[in-house]
Structure 1
Amino acid sequence: MHPRIRTRTRIAAALVSTAATVIALTGCSGGSGTTGDDKATITFQEQFSDAETAQFTKQLAEFEKQHPNITVKLIRDNDASYYDKLTTQIAAGQGPDIARVEPPRASQFIAAGWVQPLGDAGGSAKDYFPASLKSVTKDGQLYGVPVDVSALALYYRTDLFKAAGIDAPPATWDEFEADAKTLTKGDVHGVGLFGGWGGFEFYPWLWQSGAEVVNSDQTKAVFDSPAAVKALTLWADLQKTAMPKGMAAATEDDLKGPFISGKLAMLTSGPWMLPSLKSAGIDGKWAVAPLPEGEQAATVLGGLDLVVLKNSKHADAAKTFVKWLMQDSTQKTWASALGYLPVKTSLYSDPAFKDDSSIATFSTVLQQAKTRPTVAAAGDIDTALGAAVQSALSGSKTPQRALDDAVAASNKALK
């Protein structure tokens, strides 16, 4: 499964621990372990990159003098078994006070009773994009907050479009397919759509076709419908006519270079692509647009959520941390320093972001975002869907057969 898309290109294969990072926070409202002269140490388990760790530490250092009674110990765990270890800890009554997790995991943890409601620490629901709260809301209460938001959009080479006589990015599937074929010439390919990230890249097209992943009560997989087959057929046809060979096993890393060098006219990616393109020396030759529409507009929500776990012995201190983290000033500094999208809607009108046309486009894209299934078998469904995409792109199965097999595997997991 590819729930955290930006992470795939940066997570190391081995566990890294930076438990020595100790930071003081402000805003403590009192409570367990934080009253009077008492000191509370809370643990924050996450999967930061080196740049994120450096920026996080830098931002929090200013609070040390203001509130020395709360310290935060970062536990950086970039191992592939992150969630296996985390769930084992929680089930044993242990684990960190705070965890940074994928939205499907947040939903599962909340349903299992492993997460505490945040009260007013997370702010108001109106502060965030609606889709970003679906995984962390229960009975009208916030049990978590999005700390990273992303969604897939269309990146395109404006110079190649202009040379081909195309004056705007494709707005519909028909335009998209036609443009991809027109832009394919010589060693230049019109588009790259890949299967190496499981089903993640395909979700938007599935939804755009009018298909759904599971039925309304989330008990049965239904992505073998005629609409879903139409979406996968579009991908399979483009592999034959307008995409580089081998897209079944390819990832974004295989396409970024050709896009930068002008050998690929279009690809789908998220906001994590922006910093590298802005520093690639191709200013004025690329732009971002919403994905072309099928029966409807849709894209897939990515990102990460923050939750306070039920086993926390310093819940008040942990919620104080969350409240500080989600205030506008903290989020503005974080997003602008790292080149990320703001998670709070109010920041898109801030001068630091509103004049960036790419970020403005992503604010529209995020309004179209949908979340992947949040059922316990979500990982199995994503794996099955990813296998279907790979089979169709490689030509080993027809789109219909690939989706039929994937639905059968998904329903077995759901039972």
Structure 2
Amino acid sequence: MRLIAGIATVALLGALTACAGDDSGDGGPITLRMTTWSANPAHVELFTAIADEYKQTHPDVSVTFDALPIDNYTTTLTTQIAGGNTPDLAWILESAAPDFVSSGALVPLGDAVEKPAELVPAATALWQRDGTLMAYPFSTSPFGVFVNTDLLKAAGQSLPTGAAWTWDSAIAVAGATAAKTGKQGLVVRDFDYKDWTNLATVFGGWGAEAWSADGKTCGFDQPAMAAAMDFLHKATFTAKAMPAPGTSADFFAGESAMTITQISRASLLKDAKFGWTLVPLPAGPNGDYSVIGQAGLGVLKKGKHADAATGFLSFFTSEANSAKLAAFFPPPRKPQLTAATLAKSNPLLKPAQLQDVVIDGIATGVVKPSHTGNAEISQAVRAALDPMWRPGADVPAVLSGVCAAIQPLLSK
């Protein structure tokens, strides 16, 4: 079902350019619906507060937030659109950005974004069409590694620092901690042997890429990717430093020594019963690197209240509200990308952590893999990678199979 939905995504979104929603009617109250993929109470509380403030100056406009499961967010969103239940605004995953932006399914934002000159060019690149911003990148969030320092201490391990913080040392510490404590070692959060794009946080250290910069040539069978995937395989099945298929562990519940994720998850540590820290991704054979996950906010043309939705987007993404959202979602505005500014809205994180992981990460990072027709391509990659997640797998052969599966799709 997910594959079928993925194949239809581009055609479906393209069909939406035929007509846009409007705000015509009897002039009565309007309720906007905005889809998100977070039901985190802290996030919902902030969104609701922004909507309530907007209502003070726009009494006829209410906003509801519809949290869709992250695992099938884009599929659910496009299914809603196909079924005539189009939201007015939607968060868009970076993986789906090329489809939404290129299809014309979104209302061009034009001058709806306050102080556009403040936006970091690297943050807006994925969200533009012919030089026009089609969605606002409200979250440009580098990945870092959260570490349970109490668990490491209990295992007699210490966290490598400086030049010693490499993938080899990270896996050595994670494996030793797992063996000593009975917990898990390092978890790539939200991967779970399903969303392979989160592995970019690892294979980026080898300089590996899923496909070429122009999106036309598969990169899975290249030496850098083969080395990275061989490392992952050994870390899982030989060093036992990463959870094997069928094993889950929640770092934020104290079940693993380390996890790779973004600072938006730091709120889950508010009442943590263990000591922790946040550090950048370990250096790989290709040196230091950073990987960024992005989220854009767009207005759907097919929504019933496109004009009103654009007005709310303008308010939601204003300079003042961008500073509030920075508590969870690193903003694309240059003046707000300072350790001092981010520290005001991220009290759980130290200024040095924000500088090392977030600010420096945005300056040098690359966005997770994305491509037009991404749903179909990603499903094909996932299926072709399945044989790798078992002991004794022939990693190069598996990766050749990935390219055989997706090269025709990349060439479309």
TM-score for the superposition, normalised by structure 1: 0.76
Gap change, CA 1:245 and 1:359, over 3 Å in 2: closer
Q: Who is 1:280 aligned against?
A: 272
The question of 1:331 aligning with 2:327 is answered no
**Cα contact 1:33–1:39 (8 A) shared by 2:** no
Instruction: Report the CA distance between 1:144 and its aligned residue.
Output: 0.5
**Cα contact 1:33–1:314 (8 A) shared by 2:** yes
- Which moves more between the two structures, 196-205 or 93-102? 93-102
Gaps of 5+ in 1: 1-31
**Cα contact 1:193–1:247 (8 A) shared by 2:** no
Instruction: Report the CA distance between 1:227 and its aligned residue.
Output: 0.9
Secondary structure in 1 aligned to 2:195?
Answer: coil
Gap change, CA 1:381 and 1:294, over 3 Å in 2: farther
Partner residue of 2:336 out of 347, 370, 378: 347
1:331-376 C-alpha deviation (Å, 9 max, x unpaired):
333443xx55445443343251477324333232333432234323
Q: Distance in 2 between matches of 1:275 and 1:85?
A: 26
The question of 1:144 aligning with 2:140 is answered no
The code of the aligned residue for 1:237 comes to: K
Secondary structure in 2 aligned to 1:63?
Answer: helix
Q: How does 1:264-303 map to 2 (within 5 A)?
A: 264-283=256-275, 285-303=276-294
Instruction: Report the CA distance between 1:400 and its aligned residue.
Output: 0.8
Secondary structure in 2 aligned to 1:62?
Answer: helix
The question of 1:49 aligning with 2:33 is answered no
Instruction: Report the CA distance between 1:304 and its aligned residue.
Output: 2.3
Gaps of 5+ in 2: 1-21
Secondary structure in 1 aligned to 2:108?
Answer: coil
Q: Distance in 1 between matches of 2:213 and 2:325?
A: 37
Q: Distance in 1 between matches of 2:203 and 2:159?
A: 26
Q: Who is 1:187 aligned against?
A: 181
TM-score for the superposition, normalised by structure 2: 0.76
Instruction: Report the CA distance between 1:395 and its aligned residue.
Output: 2.0
Gap change, CA 1:252 and 1:139, over 3 Å in 2: farther
Instruction: Report the CA distance between 1:309 and its aligned residue.
Output: 2.0
Gap change, CA 1:108 and 1:371, over 3 Å in 2: same
Q: Distance in 1 between matches of 2:148 and 2:68?
A: 37
The question of 1:364 aligning with 2:357 is answered no
The question of 1:395 aligning with 2:391 is answered yes
Q: How does 1:10-409 map to 2 (within 5 A)?
A: 33=23, 38=27, 41=30, 43-47=32-36, 48-49=38-39, 51=41, 52-78=43-69, 83-84=74-75, 86-87=77-78, 90=81, 95-123=86-114, 127-158=118-149, 160=152, 163-164=156-157, 168=161, 170-180=164-174, 185-187=179-181, 191-193=185-187, 195-196=191-192, 197-244=194-241, 246-251=243-248, 253=250, 255-257=251-253, 260=254, 264-283=256-275, 285-312=276-303, 314-336=305-327, 339-349=328-338, 350=341, 352-353=344-345, 356-357=349-350, 358-360=353-355, 361-387=357-383, 391-395=387-391, 397-409=393-405
**Cα contact 1:33–1:40 (8 A) shared by 2:** no
Secondary structure in 1 aligned to 2:185?
Answer: coil
The code of the aligned residue for 1:137 comes to: Q
For these two proteins, the number of residue pairs brought into alignment is: 375
Q: Distance in 2 between matches of 1:78 and 1:406?
A: 27
Gap change, CA 1:219 and 1:96, over 3 Å in 2: same
Secondary structure in 2 aligned to 1:405?
Answer: helix
**Cα contact 1:42–1:318 (8 A) shared by 2:** no
Instruction: Report the CA distance between 1:326 and its aligned residue.
Output: 0.8
Secondary structure in 2 aligned to 1:101?
Answer: strand
Q: Who is 2:7 aligned against?
A: none
1:360-408 C-alpha deviation (Å, 9 max, x unpaired):
3323233343223432332233334445655434225222122111222
Secondary structure in 1 aligned to 2:112?
Answer: coil
Q: Distance in 2 between matches of 1:82 and 1:239?
A: 28
Instruction: Report the CA distance between 1:228 and its aligned residue.
Output: 0.4
Instruction: Report the CA distance between 1:158 and its aligned residue.
Output: 4.0
Q: Distance in 2 between matches of 1:252 and 1:346?
A: 37
Q: Identity percentage over the alignment?
A: 22
What is the root-mean-square deviation of aligned Cα atoms in Å? 3.6
Instruction: Report the CA distance between 1:135 and its aligned residue.
Output: 2.5
1:79-102 C-alpha deviation (Å, 9 max, x unpaired):
976544543565688723322221
